[in-house]
Amino acid sequence: MTPQSIDEIGFLGEIFSSFQGEGPLIGRRQIFVRTAGCNLNCSYCDSPKFRRDVKFCGVEDPSVPGRLRQAKNPINLNWTMDQVLALWTIGTHSVSITGGEPLCQPQFVEALAMSCSEENLPVYLETNGFSRSRFSRLIDWIDFAAVDIKLPSHRACPTHEWSCLVENELACIEGACRAGIATIAKAVILDSTSMEEIEQLCRRLEGLEVAFVLQPASGRGRPVPERLMRLHEVASEHLREVVAIPQAHKMMGVL
């Protein structure tokens, strides 16, 4: 058997069908392909077990919704596409490539996005945007880009690395907007998130065709409603489309 090329093998955490629980496409049915491995360490991470490579990938059985069987990593691209197509239904909106962090596996994710495009399956990329160069390789194959912007209060990386991180994130957002991709910029809001953080960020996003999502953290660290309202007002002084949306999939009790 001919060995797989490096761009056809990846480490995945999960493949399943569910509803998008974040941002403007909330409630849309998607096939989620969750990559394993992440380069950041956000204080609010809701999928910490996928910060590193995992031995097995949980794959939903199309005949038994919600039941995951185990597949050994690394995962073959063709096999991954077989699972995606088996889970696709008439009401499915798109394929969400999420993580972990997809840009940590740029070759595999590019090959996956290309394969989905060839099957006429819209691609929704969820990323922290840490690398503008890796992101730019995907632009021709994605239809939606959701970039999770890291604020200083998130403690996602060492302080001396934050400036470089946010410049890459902003470059990804600008590149996606310039390419005509439906672009979402998301910032998780903690009780420690300051007005200054949001205002400085929104000044940098000003003039871009982007939906800006204030996502209140769940559980511990959740901001009080009054703070969220004030942050919305601050953001709206600079951006046309500002929405506050919590993680709805947690409320629905789905993956």
Q: Is 98 annotated as a binding residue?
A: yes
Q: Is residue 242 part of a domain?
A: no
Q: Is residue 65 part of a domain?
A: yes
Per the structure, how many domains does the chain have? 1
Q: Is residue 219 part of a domain?
A: no
Q: Is 222 annotated as a binding residue?
A: no
Q: What is the CATH number of the domain that holds 87?
A: 3.20.20.70
Per-residue pLDDT 10s for the chain (255 aa) are 334 555 689 999 999 999 999 999 999 999 999 999 999 999 888 888 899 999 999 999 998 888 999 999 999 999 999 999 999 999 999 999 999 999 999 999 999 999 999 999 999 999 999 999 999 999 999 999 999 999 999 999 999 999 999 999 999 999 999 999 999 999 999 999 999 999 999 999 999 999 999 999 987 789 999 999 999 999 999 999 999 999 876 666 666
Q: Is residue 246 part of a domain?
A: no
Q: Is 46 annotated as a binding residue?
A: yes
Which pLDDT belongs to residue 2? 39
Domain that holds residue 132: 6-187
Which pLDDT belongs to residue 110? 97
Q: Is residue 96 part of a domain?
A: yes
Q: Is 100 annotated as a binding residue?
A: yes
Which pLDDT belongs to residue 251? 65
Q: Is residue 175 part of a domain?
A: yes
Which pLDDT belongs to residue 31? 98
Which pLDDT belongs to residue 47? 83
Q: Is 212 annotated as a binding residue?
A: no
Q: Is 47 annotated as a binding residue?
A: yes
pTM summary value: 0.94
Q: Is 18 annotated as a binding residue?
A: no
Q: Is residue 55 part of a domain?
A: yes
Q: Is 116 annotated as a binding residue?
A: no
Q: Is 70 annotated as a binding residue?
A: no
Q: Is residue 199 part of a domain?
A: no
| Reduced 3-state DSSP string for the chain | CCCCCHHHEECEEEEEEEECCCCCCCCCEEEEEEECCCCCCCCCCCCHHHCCCCCEEEEEECCEEEEEEEEECCEEHHHHHHHHHHHCCCCEEEEEEECCCHHHCHHHHHHHHHHHHHCCCCEEEEECCCCHHHHHCCHHHCCEEEEECCCHHHCCCCHHHHHHHHHHHHHHHHHHHHCCCEEEEEEEECCCCCHHHHHHHHHHHCCCCCEEEEEECCCCCCCCHHHHHHHHHHHHCCCCCEEECCCHHHHHCCC
